[in-house]
Amino acid sequence: MPIRSTRRFWLRTIVFGCGHAIASLTAVALAQTATANAQQSSESIRAVVAEHGHWNQYRGPRGNGSTDADLPLEFAEGSPQVLWKTPITGRAWSSPVVWEDRIWLTNAPEIQNAPGLSDFDAIPKTLPPALDPPLKFSVVCLDAKSGKVLKDFPILDVTHPQFTHLTNSYASSTPVVEAGRLYAHYGSHGTVCVDTDTDQVLWRRTDIYCHHWRGAGSSPIVHGDLLYVAFDGYDHQFMIALNKHNGETVWVRNRDVDFGTDDGDAKKAYSTATVVEVDGRLLVVSPFASATTAYDALTGETVWTVHHSGMNAAARPVVGNGLVYIASGDGRDTVVAIDPRVELPEGQERIRWQLGRSTPKRPSPMVIGDALFMLEDKGVLSWLDAKTGEAITNDRATGNYWASPLLARDRIYVFSQEGRVTVLQANESLKVLAINHLDEGMNASPAVVGNRLILRTFKHVYCIGN
């Protein structure tokens, strides 16, 4: 496990490898094999979803940004549908999470750049002078019914903050909340478990290190007794699993790939993993720069690795139709459909299709039946055949988009940095049903409580309901 000292940083890597000999088949035979196995593979592959209904993690209990809630179609600043609006100080792009009637947020000070470091100080030889007072990273809790701030308390003091780019924040990673526990992650600055009743810090890890270069962004996920989080920095790139009860390392795996470059900037990523059940085996599917790896969820064994283009991957994988869909960030052919089975039939390619046109860098895609919906950062809307990648509909929404879209029954909600919330029909028409405006935009993805929409804008948290 990577340990941080005041003078040097290092990473102890444990590398597992696996190889597969794949025989060559003709194109006709390959297509026949894929068709024959499509139904079987779809039935044996599923995303692991939470048994509860709380929006307790990035992109909700299903991990895919979907809900059965009956959300308002039309609303506006000051309209009756805005049930409450609570100001939040600080600067944080993390999304709200919910447990029962409480909304939880991570927060950080309104500061763009850490003193003593610049965007191009890749690995400083010495630490900058300690800040006095230190930066305080905190947790905020709101009452879901009234919006009242119930708690606002620091959980981490940071005396030597890394540089964070002006487009990022020190609290961009979305936390996970469970009954009695909140897991907050601030990249290399620390991962903290808090008792949500007493506010006591139960454990804290500040020794897991990579140089994030322009700030952290990967969010943790929890399954069973383990908490998983990716560290894909300029210098070190790895995946780690912690015991969620005490914070101890269960396994850590280096990204065992040839990035094809010595430039650490091309090795960075911000993606959040997804747990997938494949033929009864649990895999943690984790995209990063130039590749995606599936790890055995319990042991960290590398089950398969797919090489593709991309860097700065920020989206979360989604699952459907027997495939896992990856948005791999900057590069060519950056949306990839992957067959996640442990063993593929002879001649079957793991990558089913790739696409490089109008693909998102930050907003996560959504599987809607046999279709894949994508929202590109500049507002290009795409409705694709999820099995082939063939484009069916392309349109455009006004604005710039970092927040991931939300599927609520038969509607798609998209949220711009300018405060525009567009509601679309969730079919290939992508018909605009409503265009709503708020005074502020957002980078955070939405949450849902009952039939209410929770939005974290740059300075407020909104509750919108009928």
What would the two tokens of residue 360 be? 């998102």
- Rounded CA-CA distance 338/351 in Å is 5
- Who's near 31: CB < 8 A, 6+ residues apart? none
pLDDT at 16 over 60: no
pLDDT digits (tens, 9 = 90+) for 58-86: 999 999 999 999 999 999 999 999 999 99
Written as one string, the DSSP assignment of 121-143 is: -SS-SSPPPPPSSPEEEEEEEEE
pLDDT digits (tens, 9 = 90+) for 414-440: 999 999 999 999 999 999 999 999 999
Q: Would you give the DSSP letter of residue 28?
A: H
* Amino acid 38: pLDDT: 46
pLDDT at 1 over 50: no
Burial classification of residue 423, based on how many CB atoms lie within 10 Å of its CB (0-12 exposed, 13-18 middle, 19 or more buried): buried
Q: How far is CA 434 from the centre of its chain?
A: 27
9 in helix, strand or coil? strand
Task: With beta carbons less than 8 A apart as the criterion, state whether 415 and 399 touch.
Answer: no
What's the angle, vertex CA 448, arms to CA 443 and CA 453, rounded to 5?
70
210 in helix, strand or coil? coil
- pTM beyond 0.75: the answer is yes
Task: With beta carbons less than 8 A apart as the criterion, state whether 36 and 28 touch.
Answer: no
Of 436, 431, 441, 359, the closest CA to residue 400 belongs to 441
Place 218 in a pLDDT band, splitting at 50, 70 and 90: very high
- Rounded CA-CA distance 124/9 in Å is 10
* Amino acid 121: pLDDT: 52
Helix or strand holding residue 29 (H, E): helix 27-43
φ and ψ at residue 140, rounded to 5 degrees:
-120, 140
Task: With beta carbons less than 8 A apart as the criterion, state whether 180 and 144 touch.
Answer: no
- Which domains are seen in the chain, by residue range? 3-465 (2.130.10.10)
Q: Would you give the DSSP letter of residue 43?
A: H
Task: With beta carbons less than 8 A apart as the criterion, state whether 465 and 446 touch.
Answer: no
Q: Residue 270 is which amino acid? A: Y
Task: With beta carbons less than 8 A apart as the criterion, state whether 142 and 102 touch.
Answer: yes
Task: With beta carbons less than 8 A apart as the criterion, state whether 285 and 292 touch.
Answer: yes
Q: Would you give the DSSP letter of residue 249?
A: E
pLDDT digits (tens, 9 = 90+) for 33-45: 444 444 445 668 9
Give Cα separations from 177 to 44, 142, 189, 353 (angstroms): 29, 13, 20, 35
Place 25 in a pLDDT band, splitting at 50, 70 and 90: very low
Place 131 in a pLDDT band, splitting at 50, 70 and 90: confident
Task: With beta carbons less than 8 A apart as the criterion, state whether 463 and 83 touch.
Answer: yes
Alpha-helical segments (H) within 278-332:
none
343 in helix, strand or coil? coil
